[in-house]
Amino acid sequence: MIRLFVGLAVPEPQRTRLAGLCGGIPGARWVRPENFHVTLRFIGDIDEGLAEDVDIALSRITAPSFALEVSGIGQFGKDFKIRALWAGIVPNAALNQLQAKVEAAVTGLPAETRKFKPHITLGRLKNPPPDRVGAFIAGHAGLRAGAFAVDRFTLFSSFLAAAGAIYTPEVDYDLG
């Protein structure tokens, strides 16, 4: 079995800017900068044969390259049940079209139940102090980490370790 997801890697300038934000909330597990990405589709644990089928299906996707802009900070969850902090992605039609093509390519896998909300996860939280989270979001509300070119998407494997997930790019698929 292999645990997979499809995503967009975040370039070094944006990773550096975002990494500088990560701190100040007790108990937060901050994502390592090299793991910053925008998830297009979480696939989960699948066998190697199905992973090959997914690779073939993804390799058939054609889409133009485009630019994404990182802007704003948000959270998933409320009050003491806030579970993640994220940097936002400015709405982008080309990104939405690419995500829809990825979703169509993996037809047959269990459907994604969550609505696509493009973001870069900065940290995961468990029972955080809501006032600290609120202060973090307010303090970084005007975040502008800049735009970057997207000329490929990637099939990543994910290994869950005690020190945090380890993401490995398995296959890149060129756009444009």
Which residues in 84-94 are b (16+ Cβ under 10 Å) and which e? bbbbbbeebee
Catalytic site residue 140? Answer: no
User: Which of the residues 37, 70, 122, 155 is marked catalytic?
Assistant: 37
CA angle 115, 116, 122 (to 5 degrees): 115
pTM exceeds cut of 0.85? yes
With contact defined as beta carbons under 8 Å apart, do 39 and 74 qualify?
no
**pLDDT higher than 80, residue 61:** yes
> What does the pLDDT read at residue 165?
84
Give residue 18's domain range.
Answer: 2-174
**Per mean pLDDT, which range of 12-21, 34-43, 47-56, 122-131 is the poorest?**
122-131
Average pLDDT taken over every residue of the chain: 94
Please report, for the domain that includes residue 86, its CATH number: 3.90.1140.10
Catalytic site residue 37? Answer: yes
User: Which of the residues 8, 72, 118, 119 is marked catalytic?
Assistant: 119
Number of domains in the chain: 1
